[in-house]
Amino acid sequence: MSKHGKKYNNAAENIDRTKLYELAEGITLLLDNKCAKFDESVEIAVRLGVDPRHADQMVRSTVILPHGTGKEVRVLVFAKGEKEAEALAAGADFAGSEEIINKIKEGWLDFDKTIATPDMMGEVGKIGRILGPRNLMPNAKLGTVTFDIDRVVKETKMGKVDFRVEKAGIVHSLVGKHSFGQDKLVDNVSAFVEKIISLKPSSSKGIYLRSIVISTTMGPGIKIDPSHVRSLLKA
């Protein structure tokens, strides 16, 4: 059984584990119970009423958080010629074709997100066994295989996050930093949940949005009332 530190235990004592908090109330509680000296990330876990074993119930997409994630994202673009120049001009940290692919084959992985033009996917596929297990493979379904390099690079640098439901029916994501404060975190969480709701599979039966929990990197989870978040989004 894992043991928690004093700050965690003190924070946990201030949280009613049986209560479903309204969003703003829950975030206030999260902010008031800081557990680390560094600027902790704020994370969300949403449990859905889906069975990911069925392809038609796989919830997977991207969302642009209004205030970003607070995390510096290193973007690599697989492209040639004008598209390579476009990527660098848009803010990509790295861009290139065969020389970048060879560098990755040699063990270089100093990037967080990848984007590719469609004509590069044949070559990128050769390093799929390296990128795939690390969730670094460009994916057309997530919009990261495209000729619209300028837009996608800028969105990614701004704080676009990709997510997918896990085997247990839970979606995890980063939604900001402790330093964002109340309003920005409410905006980011709302945007994330709104996107999740919009992706409800038609084959999903019963309650779709089953639970929402927010937490900081080192802090305890705080349960948020899904019905309250729904009402906020409708308003």
The DSSP string of the chain is -----HHHHHHHHTS-TT--B-HHHHHHHHHHS---SS--EEEEEEEES--TTSGGG--EEEEE-TT--SS---EEEE--HHHHHHHHHHT-SEEESHHHHHHHHTT----SEEEE-GGGHHHHGGGHHHHGGGT-S--GGGT-B-S-HHHHHHHHHHTEEEEE--TTSEEEEEEEEGGGHHHHHHHHHHHHHHHHHHT--TT--S-SEEEEEEEESSSPPEEE-HHHHHHHHH-
Fold of 75-158: Rossmann fold (3.40.50)
Domain ranges of the chain: 6-69+160-234, 75-158
Mean pLDDT, range 199-206, rounded to an integer? 91
User: What share of the chain has pLDDT > 90, as a percent?
Assistant: 84
Rounded to an integer, the average pLDDT of 52-73 is 92
User: Is the predicted pLDDT of residue 199 greater than 60, yes or no?
Assistant: yes
CATH code: domain 6-69+160-234 is 3.30.190.20
Categorize the per-residue pLDDT at 2 as very low, low, confident or very high, splitting at 50, 70 and 90: low
Q: Write down the pTM of the prediction.
A: 0.84
Span 127-147, average pLDDT: 95
